[in-house]
Structure 1
Amino acid sequence: MWSALRAWLFDGSGLHKLPDRVQAAIRIQQEQSEILIAWVQLAIVAMLAVVYESTTMPGGVVQFGNLETAVLAIYAVFGVIRLALAYRRLLGAWMLYLSVLADMALLMALIFSFHLKYAQPAAFYLKVPALLYVFLFIALRALRFEARFVVFTGVAAVAGWILLVLYVLSGYGGPDDPTTDDFVDYMTSNTLLFHAEVDKIIAILLTTAVLAVAIARARHLLVRAVSEGAAARDLSRFFDPNVAARIRTAAMAVKAGEGELRDAAILTVDLRGFTRLSTELAPDDVMKLLQDYQGRVCPLIVGHGGSIDKFLGDGILASFGAVAPSSAAAADALRAVDAIVEAADRWAAERRSRGMAPLSVGLAVASGRVVFGAVGDGERLEFTVIGDAVNFAAKLEKHNKDEGTRALTDERTYGLAQSQGYRSPAKPETRLGRHVAGVQDSVDIVVLSP
């Protein structure tokens, strides 16, 4: 049982078992926490310096030396060094433990200096309110989300306070027998009441225990959050950003079979000649070619408000106004086509300059009512768009070969885009009554790029 409790408190949720990238993310969080702790420590020493150095001495009392000034100065130097190491990510565990000891040494030395500063017996310092700073230093270690440092700070504080009590009992700082059993006498004189000091120690230990448990729980949540955050970032690369955001912000779990009706525009993109190239090139070269092509096209689609629905080998299916309603879906889709055509021309010129065969793309846009939602078997889900516009866009893209063009849309979609503010960079050509394979009625098409 003790080993299980120890592992739960101090093992950090099996941090060493996590992937390196997750461990690195947690280390970054801890390093940032150490910078914050270092600044807080410097703020504490500055505050204490103001408080203790501005204390007015009562008349007739002779100040014994300037111990607190020396302690604060030493601690300030230590704090600056610690801050520099924190920024350089050079704080090892030994330095962190040393920092805890420095905190407690500072506090106990300041408390000890009270009876010297006011020329009182040692028992005088047992009642000073500076002991409350112990709880601040314990809480300060909680910022790192490691219970071991909280426990070590609490134990160091108790050890320091016991040493101060033992000094009182030694008689060097006052009467030979400074103890009392009378609480009123304890509160109104320079005496020591064992029960009062035990209460203080118990309060420190209980505070340490509660904070250690709280930090252990928080650390488990931190590890889980960082792990899930890293997984979410990785998984979001497999989803369109808008779809990923929709999943993250969904009020209820996403289920298969749930969909929404949308007025959307559908864009299909195809890389010409890829099938032949995939049989001629090495596998690595095939994937590099795809990455080069998709790396140029996909940002343009997303940049114009589109969402990548899926990659179909060298084909790309994108939607505008499906993931989220849009009043300019058709216009955005045609603007994306113009941008992709321009990028494809640059890509072809780059390949020619390197002595490589130029590649071209085929595009088509259709619009209409589609259903957007999740499909799958419950264990494996996929967001997609379904509807006549999706099928029509795919058929229209294939029709580019029959027309000898690169980009097409139908006349209705083009008119809708114009009503939404789209203006073509060049005067498009309209071709009436075309027969598109798989479409029963003739189609009036608009050539966006010959």
Structure 2
Amino acid sequence: MTTLDNNDLAQRRRERLASLLTRAERQGARWQFWVTSGTLLGVAILFVALNKWDAAFSYSISTLIFFFLINLLNYALIRRGMRPIWLGFVLGTLNIIILTIVVIAPNPFHDQALPHAMTLREAGFKYLLIFVCLGALTLSPRLAAWLGTAAAICWAAAVLWVIAMPGTIVAPPPADGIGVGERLRLYLNPNFVDVVDQATNIAVILIIAGIIASVVARTRRLAEDYTKAERARFNLARHFSPNVVDALASADEPFGPVRRQEVAVLFADIVGFTNYAEDHKAEEVFDMLREFHGRMEQVVFDNGGTVDNYIGDCIMATFGIPRPGDDDAVHALRCVRAMREALDEWNDERRAAGFDPVDVRIGCQHGPVVIGAIGSERNLSFAVIGDTCNVASRLQTMCRELGASVCIGDALVKRVLASGDHQSIEGFTEAGPVSVRGREAPIDVWTLPA
């Protein structure tokens, strides 16, 4: 693969990821609407419990309804797929600007409005923090950071506006040596603005916004890593038993480098599948094939094996991958017997349903193979190759010639006997040396009658 192809592939991956994240942001915006609506409802209930119904109270409730309508508009546009990303920044900024005005400007219907300096000291900026925190629900770190920045700018502008008003008192720096009594009198003055305290409020808004944006960004990275891990786990689960998948998925290089090791290789193939495919509907052929693969796959997994490949109506399984063991040959032979039992059970079900039974032939051998990843970056897969695989495949095709349902190589039998398991060999008979296509020397073969 050329460098240009690699760059193109990486670009496509980035585009797919960006599309997924954009969709996640829009889904987060929907969730933000519901949480914001619940927050506004909670504040409204609090207002009802603490205030009497008059013009000033109606004004406060009206502002809450206004915020709800803005968020409702945002939600409606999202549901229709008509809201571009930039509109979320615009509406979020509009919410913060209006909230700042409502917090700082006195209620026009209130009989005794507080001085503007007092409204700054009533900790109204905490409502801005709520809007900043709600921005995290969109799963957009840019939006969360922008809302915090907009809130800090609006609050700073409000502080400067109040300071510029006639009659506002600002304390001199602490270094000027003002006593405690003088500072206390300043603090009790309703026109006093504590610049240090307001600067701290602005810093708090920016810090919280930065933390929220960092958390959202970290969450997105974790979601991406989780998606990659689950995709890798899913790919592994197609070939390995569940008890092996977790160990492989957690390893940086689960299969290791290309190497040679001894494993048991098994081939199971349906007899007469070509004729069956010609005489039946395509849907019936695939249903039968999926059922066959599913049942045989489960048997392989139950016996600690690996499904290496599906070749049409044939299934190839290995035992001893990714890590070889002393009982690989035993597990393979037990899998052979379990396959025969599963096949008998399946055929009973097929006969009861009015379908023809399925005949399967199995070949198995133990020996050295070469294992490793092959292919390209577009399609990388794990492969097992070598003479042992070829022999196991040939033994499977020889079953019909020898009138057997199972043919296994002498190397497999010797490994099973060496492990002390004589029960697995029961029923097999030695067919003697048999010539195998592709090999000069004959192979000692054991068979299980059909």
The two structures have a TM-score, normalised by structure 1, of: 0.63
Shift of 1:73: 4.4
Give the equivalent residue in structure 2 for 1:336. 339
Give the equivalent residue in structure 2 for 1:3. none
Shift of 1:340: 5.4
Shift of 1:74: 0.5
What secondary structure is seen at the aligned counterpart in 1 of 2:124? helix
**CA distance 1:405–1:237, change in 2 (3 Å):** same
Shift of 1:143: 3.8
CA contact (8 A) 1:298 1:308 kept: no
What number of residue pairs does the alignment pair up? 407
* Mapping of residues 334-373 of structure 1, within 5 Å: 334-339=337-342, 362-365=361-364
CA contact (8 A) 1:265 1:321 kept: yes
What secondary structure is seen at the aligned counterpart in 2 of 1:250? coil
* Mapping of residues 380-399 of structure 1, within 5 Å: 383=382, 393-399=392-398
Gaps of 5+ in 2: 1-9, 174-182
What secondary structure is seen at the aligned counterpart in 2 of 1:177? coil
**CA distance 1:258–1:245, change in 2 (3 Å):** farther
Shift of 1:308: 1.6
Of 285, 293, 302 in structure 1, the residue corresponding to residue 297 of structure 2 is 302
CA contact (8 A) 2:269 2:360 kept: yes
* Mapping of residues 191-340 of structure 1, within 5 Å: 191-193=191-193, 195-196=195-196, 199-200=199-200, 202-203=202-203, 206-207=206-207, 210=210, 214=214, 218=218, 221=221, 225=225, 228=228, 232=232, 246-250=247-251, 254-257=255-258, 266-270=265-269, 295-304=290-299, 305=301, 306-311=305-310, 315-320=314-319, 322-323=321-322, 329-330=331-332, 331-339=334-342
Q: Which amino acid aligns with 2:362?
A: L
Give the equivalent residue in structure 2 for 1:142. 136
CA contact (8 A) 1:270 1:314 kept: yes
The answer to which of 45-54 and 127-136 deviates more is 45-54
**CA distance 1:341–1:105, change in 2 (3 Å):** farther
Give the equivalent residue in structure 1 for 2:435. 437
CA contact (8 A) 1:71 1:110 kept: no
**CA distance 1:342–1:397, change in 2 (3 Å):** farther
CA contact (8 A) 2:405 2:448 kept: no
Give the equivalent residue in structure 1 for 2:4. none
Of 157, 164, 168 in structure 2, the residue corresponding to residue 178 of structure 1 is 168
**CA distance 1:444–1:404, change in 2 (3 Å):** closer
Q: Deviations over 1:381-429 (max 9, x none)?
A: 864568997566334312212124554558969999xx8999xxxxx97
CA contact (8 A) 2:364 2:392 kept: yes
CA contact (8 A) 1:31 1:89 kept: no
Distance in 2 (CA, whole Å) between partners of 1:365 and 1:234 is 27
RCO comparison, higher one (Cα < 8 Å, 6+) = 1
Establish whether residue 26 from structure 1 lines up as the match of residue 21 from structure 2.
Answer: yes
What secondary structure is seen at the aligned counterpart in 1 of 2:267? strand
Q: Deviations over 1:211-252 (max 9, x none)?
A: 587379648847964885697489669865767655431155
Give the equivalent residue in structure 1 for 2:189. 189
Q: Give percent identity, aligned residues only.
A: 19
Two-structure CA RMSD over aligned residues (Å): 5.7
* Mapping of residues 123-162 of structure 1, within 5 Å: 123-158=117-152, 160-161=154-155
Distance in 1 (CA, whole Å) between partners of 2:306 and 2:111 is 72
**CA distance 1:113–1:51, change in 2 (3 Å):** farther
What secondary structure is seen at the aligned counterpart in 2 of 1:65? helix
Establish whether residue 122 from structure 1 lines up as the match of residue 116 from structure 2.
Answer: yes
What secondary structure is seen at the aligned counterpart in 2 of 1:137? helix
Shift of 1:55: 4.2
